Chain A
Amino acid sequence: MRRAGPLISMTAIAAIAWSSSSFAAEATPTEKDALVAARAVRLSEKLRCLVCQNQTIADSNAELAQDLRRQIHEQIAAGKTDDEIVAYMVARYGDFVLYQPPVKSTTMLLWAGPALLLIGGFAGLVHLVRARRTEAETPPLTDEERDRAARLLGGDGGKDLA
């Protein structure tokens, strides 16, 4: 229990600091507007524009993107959370609107793919290196082979070569 003490008080301080900072931000209207704008930008950077598919709603100037930015602003003003706004977009346009696809059974390969490729590649590399190493280690000559080599090299077991 004693050990948990500092941790609890630190969490409490952090929580108070966090909440008071958010209260402070909401106190003055100009800062609140800035917060709303920042939230809207952050959200629209997560969402894909379906008209020009390689741009986010934040980047795109397509009319649909403008309309969707307006929707985001309105929903923030209406007090919706980020998750609720994202869910609103997904309900209408599907997971495709999310730049970061959700982890689901259908997207498992997408998420696990890079890791699987890395593991596969590493396994392949290890296999290759091991194969090379056994190839490089030439087995010692048998007595028969040594005799034959000696004969070829000069007849008397190659001793005078040494």
Chain B
Amino acid sequence: MNKKRLIPLGIFLVLCGFLLAGLWRDPREVPSPLIGKPAPPFTLARLHEPAKSLGPADLKGQVWLLNVWASWCVSCRDEHPLLVELARAKIVPIVGLDYKDDSTAGKRWLADNGDPYTVSVMDGDGRVGIDWGVYGVPETFVVDKAGVIRYKQIGPLTAEALEKKIVPLIRELQKS
């Protein structure tokens, strides 16, 4: 009889376990199905030299970052100093995808805040963003030498994510 009384307590504890685990999970972070898949191709005009274009095919053979940003994006300001710092360390080329933005506003934003990007390309209507499964700017992708997406950061980069995940991953991918 005593054992039976423990059943509701057991159910309650299991429920608590699930709820507790839920506290540390961000429902806005939807795992990307693109990880481990080839980077979706695109050919986009460069922000600063619209006559020239760039696409993942041009970057084959090196590890690179794709950072999705926009001048209208508020949390891009949070991660921006980290990107500038990363660019200064010259570890990896950073391609900026200026998502659904006006090129004049984009250029002004970079002039004001510093330009960490090796190259920025314009995705004015957001079609390339959709191909890359972008749903919340900023987002950052790590692409390996073979052109395969290896990691996706949803939302702003943090010092912790850079130190613990992204930079070690880049170094490892560069070795192979």
Contact = CB atoms under 8 A, between A and B. Distances in A.
Given A67-B126, A68-B130, A71-B130, A93 B135 contact: yes
B30 A93 contact: yes
B34 interface: yes
Nearest to A96: B30
B61 interface: no
B133 interface: yes
Nearest to B30: A96
Given A63-B100, A67-B126, A67-B130, A50 B33 contact: no
A94 B30 CA distance: 8
B31 interface: yes
A91 B133 CA distance: 8
A25 to B, nearest CB: 30
Interface string B129-162: 0111101100000000000000000000000000
B130 A50 contact: no
B34 A92 contact: yes
A50 B31 contact: no
A64 interface: yes
A92 B130 contact: yes
Interface in A60-92: 63-64, 67-68, 71, 90-92
A34 interface: no
A63 to B, nearest CB: 7
Interface residues on B, range: 10 to 19
Interface string B76-114: 000000000000000000000000100000000000000
B33 A91 contact: yes
Contacts of B28: 53
A51 interface: yes
Contacts of B125: 67
Interface residues of A, number: 15
B133 A93 contact: yes
B133 A92 contact: yes
B17 interface: no
Nearest to B28: A53
B135 A64 contact: yes
B33 A94 contact: yes
Contacts of A96: 30-31
A33 B123 CA distance: 30
Given A90-B33, A92-B33, A94-B30, A51 B126 contact: no
B132 A92 contact: yes
Interface of B: 27-28, 30-34, 100, 125-127, 130-133, 135-136
Interface of A: 50-51, 53, 63-64, 67-68, 71, 90-96
15 contacts: A50-B136, A63-B126, A64-B126, A64-B135, A67-B125, A67-B127, A67-B130, A71-B130, A90-B33, A92-B130, A93-B32, A93-B33, A94-B32, A94-B33, A95-B33
